[in-house]
Amino acid sequence: MVSKLEDAMEGLITVFHTYSSKEGDKCKLNKAELKSLLQGELSDFLAASKDPMVVEKIMSDLDENQDGEVDFQEFVVLVAVITVACNDFFVESMKN
């Protein structure tokens, strides 16, 4: 049986490949694919940002090796940062 943690990890891999396989390198997100992923999967997060350049900024922050594409390792960093922020919010709201 798959554990809840394994299920979450599998979810991250599946989501990434759902979008990365659309065009070009099947294992990397280009800018259009990243935008599509953010709009499809993190629309609330995107809506909360009033910055029209948010996708460009995320792309440039994540793309550590500057190849204009986001690989899985770079994507996991984004997910980790957002999840830690969500957890901090959750923990704070539990205290109050």
What are the helix and strand counts (H, E) for the chain? 5, 2
Is 46 within 8 Å of 22 (Cβ atoms)? no
> At 7, which amino acid appears?
D
CA gap 4, 88 in Å, rounded = 21
Residue with smaller CB distance to a second copy, 53 or 80:
80
Residues 6-65 that bind a second copy (CB under 8 A): 6-16, 27, 37, 40-44
40 vs 68 by CB, closer to a second copy: 40
Interface with a second copy, residue 80, by CB under 8 A: yes
Residues near a second copy (CB under 8 A): 3-16, 27, 37, 40-44, 72-73, 76-77, 79-80, 82-84, 86-88, 90-91
